[in-house]
Amino acid sequence: MLRSLSVPRRSYSGVLRINQLGRLTRPSLTGLTNGVIAIRLSSTATMSRDTSHYSDISKMKSSADGSFNRLASTFREFIKPGGKFAPEKGRYHLYVSYACPWATRTLIVRKLKGLEEFFPVTVVSPRMGNNGWPFSTADAFPNADPDPLFGSSHVKDLYLRANPDYEGRFTVPFIWDTVHNTIVNNESSEIIRMFNSAFNDQLPADKAKVDLYPEAKRAEIDELNEWIYPEINNGVYRAGFATTQEAYEKAVHIVFSGLDKVEKLLTGKDYLVDGQLSEADVRLWVTIVRFDPVYVGHFKCNFTTIRDGYPEINRWMKQLYWKNAAFKDSTNFEHIKTHYYWSHSQINGTRIVPFGPIPTIQPL
Ligand SMILES: N[C@@H](CCC(=O)N[C@@H](CS)C(=O)NCC(=O)O)C(=O)O
């Protein structure tokens, strides 16, 4: 496709880069008149600014003491009636990875709330290389999709389309708005809150009444989220991405003391907050289901496994997986295992994906 574009100088002065499949990713320049150049548009044309320090996770810097600190998400708008982003069918799109726990939160809640038609989903390939998350057109993988909106080759192309000056990591999940052609929100904890309530008046009664953050239980849920996120959800990453022995040991002890607390909380109970499924379960579950297949080995969280060391957590996890399709259908162990073991070459240089555990999740 050949198009004329007016582009600022810096966007065509970028260096040549080779993507993970060995392809040249600089757009080819075919003419230049008065600042208007003809660019043979490849889907990578939007990414000529050098953003490799954000897209390549193997080059991610840790803090001076060797600990991992997650950057805050930056697109933080809300879908709400009367707002810039109104709750409308056919308007939004959800981009996810099956591998990513934060993205899996959004898939689970989307399904629990029956929002499939409001948020069509695109799944990236699990092999995150030096350009970040690829779509299937750049890296074919079973159950990965092409980008249906723009034919982008990588998630980063969409971030730079939304904001050419974007500074930050190119993360999933995120919601794309086809009216303003931008990212509405890339923070899963906020996306699941929107899913929980913003579309209720357009949903059938049985789905509208599903409430994962009920008024009466909010204080209890907030209190759980407050320690489960740093100690467990992000805790496993802090153990796995630590670059000193000291930072790792500190982080891994926090993970297991968090799990000990959860084991006590779940004893004899089906849900964290008495009697009902809430967002606290969803937020914890996505980490627990990855624990034995990935975090025990890859992130060195190996004091014990969930199946051997935490019978109550294991029972809770299996029940949700085997009895609730929203959980099982949002989980793809092939994507999960491949992503972590393949993508973090700073931790697993051979990129070998372990065969076990067998089974990946135990039967009920
Ligand atoms: N705060 C974000 C975190 C999302 C996130 O870190 N996603 C990871 C995958 S699990 C990602 O896309 N990382 C890409 C990168 O850091 O380059 C959320 O909860 O939505």
Which residue lies with its CA nearest to atom 8 of ligand 1? 171
Residue with token string 């009466």:
216
Average pLDDT, integer, range 56-62: 73
Among the options 98, 100, 340, 341, which is catalytic?
Answer: 100
Q: Is 170 annotated as a binding residue?
A: yes
Q: What's the ipTM?
A: 0.99
Question: What burial letters (b/e) apply to 291-322, b meaning 16+ CB within 10 Å?
Answer: bbbbbbbbbbbeeebbbeebeebbbbbbebbe
Q: Atom 19 (ligand 1): residue with closest C-alpha? A: 188
This prediction's pTM: 0.86
Residue 1: pLDDT over 60: no
6 labelled ligand-binding: no
pLDDT tens-place string over residues 136-189? 999 999 999 999 999 999 999 999 999 999 999 999 999 999 999 999 999 999
For the ranges 80-84, 186-190, 302-306, 327-331, which has the lowest average pLDDT? 80-84
Ligand-binding annotation for 124, yes or no, is no
Residue 172 known to bind ligand: yes
Q: Which atom of ligand 1 is nearest to the CA of 97?
A: 9
Mean predicted confidence (pLDDT) in 88-98: 97
Tell me, what's the pLDDT at 11?
Answer: 32
Q: How far is the CA of 167 from the centre of ligand 1 (A)?
A: 14
Identify the pLDDT of residue 34.
32
Query: CB–CB of 331/321 below 8 Å?
Result: yes
- The rounded Å distance from CA 73 to ligand 1 centre is 8
Q: Is 226 exposed, middle or buried (0-12, 13-18, 19+ CB in 10 A)?
A: exposed
The runs of H, that is alpha helices, within 132-234 are 155-162, 188-197, 205-208, 218-228
Tell me the per-residue pLDDT of 182-231, one tens digit each, with 9 for 90 and over: 999 999 999 999 999 999 999 999 999 999 999 999 999 999 999 999 99
Round the average pLDDT of the chain to a whole number and report it. Answer: 88
Give the distance (Å) from ligand 1 centre to CA of residue 168: 11
Catalogue the E-assigned strands of the chain: 2-6, 28-33, 36-40, 92-96, 121-123, 174-177, 182-185
Which mutation among 172, 237, 332, 339 tests ligand 1's pocket best, with the greatest number of atoms within 8 A of CB?
Answer: 172
Note the pLDDT of residue 128: 97
d(CA 276, CA 260): 22
44 is in an annotated binding site: no
> Distance from the CA of 294 to the center of ligand 1, in angstroms?
16
Q: What are the tokens at 58?
A: 């193997």
- pLDDT (0 to 100) of residue 24: 32
Cβ atoms < 10 Å from Cβ of 197:
16
pLDDT in tens, 10-27: 332 333 333 333 333 333
**Residue 274 binned pLDDT confidence (cut-offs 50, 70, 90):** confident
> 350 C-alpha vs ligand 1 centroid, how far in Å?
23
Q: Check pLDDT > 60 for residue 8.
A: no
> What b/e sequence results for 112-130 when a residue is b if at least 16 CB atoms lie within 10 Å of its CB, and e otherwise?
bbbbeebbebbbbbbbbbb
Which atom of ligand 1 is the closest one to the Cα of 106?
A: 20
Q: Is 301 a catalytic residue?
A: no
Contact residues of ligand 1, CB 6 A cut-off: 57, 73, 100-102, 132, 169-173, 186-189
Atom of ligand 1 nearest to the CA of 102: 19
Report whether pLDDT(67) > 90: no
In this structure, which residue's CA is closest to atom 13 in ligand 1? 171
* Closest alpha carbon to 162 in 151, 148, 177: 177
**pLDDT over 90 at 48, yes or no:** no
How high is the pLDDT of residue 364?
96
Tokens for 285, please give them: 């579950």
